Structure 1
Amino acid sequence: MKTTLRGIAPALLLALVGIALLRITVLSDAYLQYVKEGLRIPLIASGLVLLALGIAGTVRRLTARRREPVLRFRRDADGNAQWHRPAHDEHEDGHDHDHNPRVAWLLTVPAVLLLCFTPPALGAFTASRDGADATVEPAAYADLAEQPPAAPSIATPMALTEFIGRSRDPQKSLTGRKVRLTGFVTPGTKSGEWYLNRLVVSCCAADARRLRILVHAPGPTPETNSWVDLTGFWRPTPDTPATAEPRLDAIEQHAVPQPRAPYRDVPPGSDG
């Protein structure tokens, strides 16, 4: 029995990993904590292939074991007839003919974690690293719609990428414009200052890059890693380097849940 379990262990491990992939892609949106949204279909396909290989390998191994003889006949050096159980013969030469690398069992740890838990998305620790800034390429931004004189309090929802880009735009389209941004919080270096952040990825969480702005807001700093919806005005800082974080004078803020796709930088209300 022990030999049989050892023989089907690699196939069962493949099936387990496949089930874990299907669990985070088909049964939930947990895959968005690790990769960008466009990789869902490849992950589902990979999960189905691994599950099929695991099932096929298990069936093949069990079928082969059922066909094996209970006893094997052979003659010793003196020509005497001998019957041996295959389980003993497999280890007679001191080698394990199953050739199952024990290190493969380490794969059960992430597979079981994916089945039972959903680790949180990257947050403050990644956003606080030096040299982790995303590149915001210069762009020709369209003019923002004019606000009606009777409704100057309307805030323009904006992605952090656009806000950072417009803050460096010579046209200064953010001047006097009330904007609304969403991101997660990391602490600043001075009292009354903190950072609003988003992380963006090219492929997966391993290549995450930071978008952030410096917020000036009255009152206590929100809890680190908490997501907030922020309304305020861009603060021009002509004496700072062009690569410095843009600044925002916040006039209103409230806590919001983490977006469904935390690594997709979109305006507030656009992440369904």
Structure 2
Amino acid sequence: MKTTLRGLAPSLLVALVGAALLRITVGSDVFLQYVKEGLRLPLIGSGFVLVGLGIAGVVRRLTKRRREPVMRFGRDAEGNAVWHRPADHDAHGHGHDHDHGPRVAWLLTIPAVLLLCLAPPPLGSFSASRDGADAVVEQTGYAPLAASPATGASGATDPWVGVVTPMSLTEFIGRSRNPERSLEGRKVRLTGFVSPGTQPGEWYLNRLVVSCCAADARRLRVLVHADDPAPATDSWVDLTGTWRPAPDAPATAAPRIDASEQHAVPQPRAPYRDLPPSDR
């Protein structure tokens, strides 16, 4: 029985990994904490293939086991005729190979079981605080931002009073570095998760974006100046504020925003997609 279980280990492991993939993709958005949304169908297909291969391996092994004779005739070292069980022969004749390989293989069940039973959170403040992990925001032309619908663009000294523009962090960072200074005097609304700042009254609003999976995550971040205490690290926040120009800051420095309002919000469905707050 022990030998049979060792022989089934590789097939059971393959099926377990496939089941874990199906658990986080079919009827669930858990996979979005690890990879981008476009990989859902390939992951579902891989899950079904792995489950099928694992079941086929178990069936093949059990069928082969059932066809083996219960007892086998042979001779011992002294030439005497003896009957022995094939399982006993395999265990003594090939014990070294079977003892070590499957035991190592079973260690690979740990990540699969974690995916089946638990949902590890997406990357957060630890990844966002690493140096050299910034996403590249390309310089581009931006369309003019909308003026206040109450006054119009031509009938008021400040046509932007009362206008709050939802914006992705990518656009906010790009506009902050654009020579047109389209953010000047504008009130914007951003969403991200919190990481600590280096000075009192400062903290960072972050998003992580991926090309494929969490392993290639890159950081987008904005330095927040606020009178209110900083929210809890790794909590998600909906923030309203005004861009603070910093002419002397290095070109690669995080843009700054003076926060006027901040509200805790749930983690977005797709944490690695940098969307404006209204589109979450």
User: Shorter chain as normaliser: what TM range?
Assistant: over 0.9
Matched, 1:102 2:111: no
Is the CA contact (8 Å cut-off) linking 2:169 and 2:221 kept in structure 1? yes
- Secondary structure of the corresponding residue to residue 59 of structure 1: helix
Q: Answer with 101-110 or 62-71: which moved more.
A: 101-110
Structure 2 unaligned blocks of 5 or more: 152-159
State how far apart, in whole Å, the 1-side matches of 2:77 and 2:30 are: 63
Partner of 2:59: 59
Partner of 1:18: 18
Partner of 2:38: 38
State how far apart, in whole Å, the 2-side matches of 1:98 and 1:52 are: 24
State how far apart, in whole Å, the 2-side matches of 1:196 and 1:156 are: 17
State how far apart, in whole Å, the 2-side matches of 1:139 and 1:164 are: 11
State how far apart, in whole Å, the 2-side matches of 1:30 and 1:266 are: 18
Q: Give the number of aligned pairs.
A: 271
State how far apart, in whole Å, the 2-side matches of 1:78 and 1:130 are: 72
Alignment CA distance shift 1:169-1:72 (3 Å): same
- Counterpart of 1:55 in structure 2: which amino acid? I
Is the CA contact (8 Å cut-off) linking 1:91 and 1:97 kept in structure 2? no
Is the CA contact (8 Å cut-off) linking 2:137 and 2:170 kept in structure 1? yes
Partner of 2:84: 84
Partner of 2:130: 129
Q: What is the correspondence of 1:69-218 to structure 2 with a 5 Å cutoff? A: 69-75=69-75, 80-93=80-93, 95-96=95-96, 98=98, 100-150=101-151, 152-218=161-227
- Secondary structure of the corresponding residue to residue 257 of structure 1: coil
- Secondary structure of the corresponding residue to residue 147 of structure 1: coil
- Counterpart of 2:108 in structure 1: which amino acid? L
- Could you tell me how far 1:32 is from its partner in structure 2? 0.8
State how far apart, in whole Å, the 2-side matches of 1:93 and 1:55 are: 28
- Secondary structure of the corresponding residue to residue 250 of structure 2: coil
Root mean square deviation, CA, Å = 1.7
- Could you tell me how far 1:254 is from its partner in structure 2? 0.5
Structure 1 unaligned blocks of 5 or more: none
State how far apart, in whole Å, the 1-side matches of 2:233 and 2:167 are: 22
Instruction: Pick from 258, 266, 271 the counterpart of residue 257 of structure 1.
Output: 266
State how far apart, in whole Å, the 2-side matches of 1:149 and 1:190 are: 39
Instruction: Pick from 233, 251, 268 the counterpart of residue 277 of structure 2.
Output: 268
State how far apart, in whole Å, the 1-side matches of 2:94 and 2:19 are: 36
Of all paired residues, the percent bearing the same amino acid is: 72
- Could you tell me how far 1:94 is from its partner in structure 2? 5.0
- Secondary structure of the corresponding residue to residue 249 of structure 1: strand
Partner of 2:245: 236
State how far apart, in whole Å, the 1-side matches of 2:124 and 2:75 are: 68
TM-score normalized by the length of structure 1 = 0.94
State how far apart, in whole Å, the 2-side matches of 1:206 and 1:34 are: 8
Is the CA contact (8 Å cut-off) linking 2:7 and 2:102 kept in structure 1? no
Is the CA contact (8 Å cut-off) linking 2:3 and 2:91 kept in structure 1? no
Alignment CA distance shift 1:45-1:74 (3 Å): same
State how far apart, in whole Å, the 2-side matches of 1:92 and 1:127 are: 54
